[in-house]
Amino acid sequence: MDRTAIGWINGFLGVVIFSGSLPATRAAVADFDPVFLTVARASIAALLAVLVLLLFRQRRPQRADIVPLVIVALGVVVGFPLLTALALKHITAAHSIVFVGLLPLATAIFAVLRGGERPKPAFWLFSVLGSALVVGFALAQGVTAAPLGDMLMLGAIIVCGLGYAEGARLSRKLGGWQVICWALVIALPVMGLIMAYAWPSSWSGISGPAWIGLAYVSVFSMLVGFFFWYHGLALGGIATVGQLQLLQPFFGLMLAALLLNEQVSAAMFIVTLGIVACVAGAKRFA
């Protein structure tokens, strides 16, 4: 099997794992404070990352790798988890998943900015159409529905796209799983301190689904998923394997409906399909 095929397989597995992130976060924030959830999942994943790095005796990153690793940490260790956790206090997991359809576009934009790629003008046409669909969907819910939740989700997509692109670029040098492990280790001191400050005063009212949600986002969303995702991007290419994220909204919507009993409206499916079509068109001219 060639490198490209292995990259697509790894990328697909990463997307499947990430698809459960928002439903799991939604379940966790029902009982956990969003800030505590963010720092707890990062701290738990970081401790596991330390064990993995020690087990495989990995060398420390070079000085030139520190800034890119900090960017990765700010994007996917802190930024995306915190913003989505805050957003899911205001909107449903099904609603938030619609915004995930913009992740391939955000990743592509930062690949342009960081990698110097020059897409054709048609690429930007599809990009604008996809963004307009998301904004139109949010406005259609009414400006008083949950504008704060929508803004937080848009911010989460932006920082996640940056973290994906930067991590994929760096993974070609350090390796896919090494990038996320070192990013988690760099973030651990700050995350640990904040976790101690945000420690819940009582654990008695925390439900089973909330614990399961915390476990999932800590082990799978924050660590294991990136093993496959960054490895897939490194082998198959950011532009091509990154488009597998188009499948994530569909998987996420199904999980939100099955696990959280959330209503998935026809409008959500239509908007998601429209976003997929727009990003697919953008990919054609990338």
- pLDDT tens across 52-103, in order? 999 999 989 999 999 999 999 999 999 999 999 999 888 887 778 778 878 8
Q: What is the pTM of this model?
A: 0.86
Rounded Cα distance, 81 and 73, in Å: 11
Element spanning 79, H or E: none
pLDDT of residue 180: 96
Alpha-carbon torsion (96, 102, 104, 110), positive or negative:
negative
Element spanning 157, H or E: helix 147-174
Rounded Cα distance, 272 and 17, in Å: 19
pLDDT of residue 214: 97
Nearest to 282 by CA among 248, 235, 234, 246: 246
Rounded Cα distance, 172 and 236, in Å: 11
Is residue 17 within 8 A of residue 224, CB to CB? The reply is yes
* Tens-place pLDDT, residues 24-62: 998 999 999 999 999 999 999 999 999 999 999 998 999
* Tens-place pLDDT, residues 129-154: 888 887 777 667 665 567 888 899 99
Max CA separation in the chain (angstroms)? 56
Cα angle value 32/33/37 (rounded, 5°): 70
Rounded Cα distance, 271 and 77, in Å: 28
pLDDT of residue 205: 87
Residue range 144-165: mean pLDDT, rounded: 88
First vs last Cα of the chain: how many Å apart? 26
Rounded Cα distance, 162 and 251, in Å: 23
Rounded Cα distance, 121 and 261, in Å: 42
pLDDT of residue 122: 83
